[in-house]
Structure 1
């Protein structure tokens, strides 16, 4: 969907907006008569409306400004947007003064139609409740064992699918395969449902995936489109499309919830609850007023974006970087081969099953290569909070009540003051010590999994899935770009999809 080609804002409205923005720019920059001597604000890099024009390259636009200013403001009529790349500032809003920075109505209004009251859209009691339940689930051994089995099984299925393309020397959209495979995994692990979209046996699942991606794009568009509420009221343009896609999502998810309830009622052993949805359904018996079908729908959707999108996106960018840097691809493949010590004739399914937690934990170079991918191509490229009361950040600059303060994982990964002169170079070795052992960085510097009280609960869960998938595929195949000259770009969404997919060719390693 190309939003820029569909913008229908009258020229008079654009002119009026620019004039007002210029006035706001002068006032907030301290040029006009309302200058406040006691306050010191971040440098102004433009207006929030410039982001409409730069939407197709939004994260690179933020990166360009961050290179110039490090931390900066974009001004608007009713609030400023402050973008930060300084780890001290990030730690301050995500940990030190956590209570002063939340979602507020600014985010909830834009996200609720899609995410509802799920963990990514809410604050307060609802956020704490969902995080508490999810935290318990992710910490249990039964889920860890169960999920590993699911990842091994789906990695093998994916490898067999790739083998079909390799045997016929056909190009494949690797991102599409990763999206389907990780969606199958999250539905099995989180909801106990066999979806099997990888082999196209679920038309509803495929329609759900497309509606999910399109809804993500429109939801992000709301952050730069000053007319989105009017469009929603009139049910036109992008808001009409969002409403139509959300109906597809709702029909699918409510059917899933009802099906899951029936499965639980039919179980001979009602205590056997390996998946996360079963636990929420159990809690709903004690609190039916607050944990109803709508709330369950919201929880499910938020788990999907966490478990499907971010993992599949990272794997897509990871294999893209391996194709651009074939020496890294071979180093990862060699590490997998040495650690696994598998017989050359070991079949795919047997090899996948042998990928124990102990084995993948030894794959330091693979872990470093995945982390280096996340540094440059984080699943969620920008995240923001709303300032609840006037405050001063560690850099000495002030932010006002109602200002949006955003930290930018995508831009931060490209900052030389954080990563050195080779910040834009894909170099997994930066994560390894002299003995080749992985060395983590501060989560306030490497923000791909958020940090502080909102640190991603599924971080280890995601790494385990990605390492199992990568190890299986690189043990049996070599990958190359179908067209080395085609520029690979992202699609501007809530998550960092590769625009138009990732066309690769796979070749059997002959082992």
Structure 2
């Protein structure tokens, strides 16, 4: 009995020692990892044993972009990261413009979107231009550039945005002003507007999202859901979302259902247009991109190719302008003296035009009038600088390389450049970098574009956004038309913060009230 008790106690002591040994081993591993991290990644976030950057990321999940910004500033502009053990995620985050130019231009071929990015978007975008690399991307880019820069498409897109602004947007706002509940989510309105506008430009079809009653539109809702769930794949380990996809459960089941709705709509549109083309022998009366692509003789694109291109175009065009406009109105609400400068400029353009009565529902801004709105373009550019619609860019390393700042990147590594953080780095934008100051874009009364690698809001290099001009025209038309007629008052008590996705939506929307404005073409400036 005594022997049994003795050995029993020895077992307990042994178990206790084993736990102590495990604890000491883990503590030693942590201290060793911390030392390695301190020596190799000074200023960067803590890289934990096994879990990598994930715990640090979770600690800052509520302010992830500001946390990344602080870490990048502290580390001198670039830091290394590593994901969960065996997850394969590793690389660097950077805001160094020389690194960005090196990736997006100098060594463009060595830094494609890569498999990591393409796999996550493949279900929704297929081989569309937004998700393609190499020759497939070049073919789409070549045709898209040719068609979108043609005078025919430029005139068509201007007419489309004019009709949507005056035929739907302003009427919708007027209806809201007359309603009992004047509080409305401005971000939702802009997302509806840009979805209709980009769908008309890409497909030649108006989904009707901007109708007076703000209807539910299955295609638009499915597109929104598919986008959100696709972006969610970037936040979970690959084995998890791939497992859920294989068994068709969880959020992957929702994604499959949403993608099915989007693809069915797109395929039906392409099939109908193909049938029209076969019956008529041409589509010369149509100017949307789908029709233009069908008539390019040297390329005979398949239905899937046309579907993927148009879906990619909608994704790229919908978010950029709508999110930028929402942040723009939030910023000018906080800076009323800038709002007054914009209004004075718009009123000056109106007073010097032959169409003086812009309250007339048939009066529309012309391309020439929009070009004269220099301060408005500067304010929109400044808004995009501080709150870029796509805050992060991803590139995958094809072969081992060394970035201009000396950072070594191995094959398969991912380089992430944080556009949101770039705007908040003094060495890039000066000591007033965090201020909303449109004047930084103007010299001698003219709008001055910035170096695209310092300001990669519309991408840069060979992948510079082909729809940049389209986006500015759309944003200027919307902003000028609203500001001339209404003061947009942001409702108090709401928390306006970025949504934690790769697209910088406002997490809870932007609720506003529209206050009718009296047009006064000789109103004195109230600048500070």
Q: Tell me the SS of whatever aligns to 1:120.
A: helix
8 Å contact from structure 2 (residues 487, 514) kept in 1: yes
CA contact (8 A) 2:171 2:212 kept: no
Say yes or no: does 1:271 pair with 2:284. yes
Q: Deviations over 1:342-381 (max 9, x none)?
A: 67744343332xx222211111100000000000111111
Q: Which residue of 2 aligns with 1:12?
A: none
SS in structure 2 at match of 1:185: helix
**Residue 225 of structure 2 is aligned to residue 220 of structure 1:** no
Q: Counterpart of 2:526?
A: none
CA distance in 2, matches of 1:98, 1:115: 22
1:479–1:504 CA contact under 8 A, matched in 2: yes
The answer to whether the 8 Å contact 2:400/2:410 transfers is yes
Tell me the distance in 1 between the aligned counterparts of 2:218 and 2:334. Answer: 32
Q: 1:382 aligned to 2:395?
A: no
Question: Per-residue displacement from partner, 1:323-354 (whole Å, max 9, x unpaired)?
Answer: 121221121111101012167744343332xx
Whether 2:216 is the aligned partner of 1:209: answer: no
What is the aligned partner in structure 2 of residue 163 from structure 1? 174
Matched, 1:425 2:435: yes
State the alpha-carbon separation in 1 of the partners of residues 440 and 229 from structure 2: 36
User: Given the superposition, is the C-alpha separation of residues 159 and 238 from structure 1 closer, same or farther in structure 2, using an over 3 Å criterion?
Assistant: same
Superposed CA offset, 1:37-71 (max 9, x none): xxx87865233424456455433332232122121
Which residue in the other structure is 1:195 paired with? 207
Tell me if 1:68 matches 2:74: yes
- Cross-structure match for 2:3: none
Alignment-derived partner of residue 16 in structure 1: none
Describe the shift of the 1:272–1:26 C-alpha distance in structure 2 as closer, same or farther (beyond 3 A): farther
Give CA deviations for 1:98-125 in whole Å, capped at 9, x if unaligned. Answer: 1111122211111111221111212111
- The answer to which structure, 1 or 2, has the higher relative contact order (CA under 8 A, 6+ apart) is 1
Distance 1:436 1:25 in 2: 58
Among candidates 479, 483, 492, match of residue 470 of structure 1: 479
Is the contact made by 1:84 and 1:408 (CA closer than 8 Å) also made in structure 2?
Answer: yes
Q: Any idea what the Cα deviations from partners look like across 1:141-169, whole Å, max 9, x if unmatched?
A: 00001111111111112112111122336
Which residue is equivalent to 1:456? 465
> In the alignment, which residue of structure 2 is the partner of 1:13?
none
Q: What is the Cα deviation at residue 468 of structure 1?
A: 0.9
Is 1:373–2:379 an aligned residue pair? no
Checking the alignment, whether the CA contact within 8 Å between 1:351 and 1:472 is kept in structure 2 is no
> Given that residues 195 and 202 in structure 1 are in contact (C-alpha distance below 8 angstroms), is that contact kept between their aligned partners in structure 2?
no
C-alpha separation between the residues in 1 aligned to 2:518 and 2:129? 46
Q: In 2, Cα distance between the equivalents of 1:365 and 1:245?
A: 41
Structure 1 residues 267 and 474, CA, compared in 2 at 3 Å: closer, same or farther?
Answer: farther
Residue 268 (structure 1) shift: 8.3
How many residues align? The count is: 480
**Offset of 1:175 from its aligned partner?**
1.1
Task: Flag the 1:29–1:185 CA change in 2: closer, same or farther, 3 A.
Answer: farther
Distance 2:233 2:29 in 1: 24
Aligned residue number for residue 9 of structure 2: none
From the superposition, tell whether residues 493 and 41 of structure 1 become closer, same or farther in structure 2 (CA, over 3 Å): closer
Deviation at 1:210, TM superposition (A): 2.4
Q: 8 Å contact 1:178–1:316 — kept in the other structure?
A: yes
- TM (norm. structure 2) is 0.84
**Counterpart-to-counterpart distance in 1, 2:44 and 2:247:** 34
Cα offset, 1:233, TM superposition: 1.8
Residues 221-242 of structure 1: CA deviation (Å, up to 9, x unaligned): 2222112222222222221221
CA contact (8 A) 1:218 1:238 kept: yes
Whole-Å separation in 1 of the counterparts to 2:298 and 2:305:
14
Q: Contact 2:43–2:74 (CA<8 Å) still a contact in 1?
A: no
Contact 2:43 2:71 in 1 (8 A): no
1:209 to 1:31, Cα distance in 2 relative to 1, 3 A: closer
Partner of 2:188: 176
Tell me what 1:411 maps to: 421
Q: Secondary structure at the match of 1:349?
A: coil
Report the Cα offset of residue 75 of structure 1: 1.1
- Which of 247, 255, 260 does residue 234 from structure 1 map onto? 247
Q: 1:319 aligns with which of 325, 329, 352?
A: 329
What is the RMSD computed on CA atoms of the aligned residues?
A: 2.8
- If the length of structure 1 is used for normalisation, what is the TM-score? 0.87
Of 188-197 and 107-116, more deviation after overlay is shown by 188-197
Q: Residues 269 and 212 from structure 1, CA distance in 2 versus in 1: closer, same or farther, beyond 3 angstroms?
A: closer
Instruction: Report if aligned partners of 2:396, 2:415 keep a CA contact under 8 Å in 1.
Output: yes
SS of the counterpart of 1:467? helix
Q: Secondary structure at the match of 1:351?
A: coil
Is the 1:56–1:491 Cα contact (8 Å) retained in structure 2? no
Structure 1 range deviating more: 415-424 or 465-474: 415-424
SS in 1 for 2:234: coil
Partners of 2:270 and 2:303 within 8 A in 1: yes
Counterpart in 2 of 1:292?
302
CA 1:442–1:29 in 2, change beyond 3 Å: closer, same or farther?
A: farther
* CA deviation vs aligned residue, 1:364-400 (integer Å, no higher than 9, x gap): 1000000000001111110110011111111112111
Deviation at 1:287, TM superposition (A): 5.6
Report if the CA contact (8 A) 2:120-2:234 is conserved. Answer: yes
CA gap of 1:500–1:172, structure 2 versus 1, over 3 A, is same
Counterpart among 363, 368, 377 of residue 358 in structure 1: 368
Partner of 1:441: 450
Q: CA deviation at 1:458?
A: 0.8
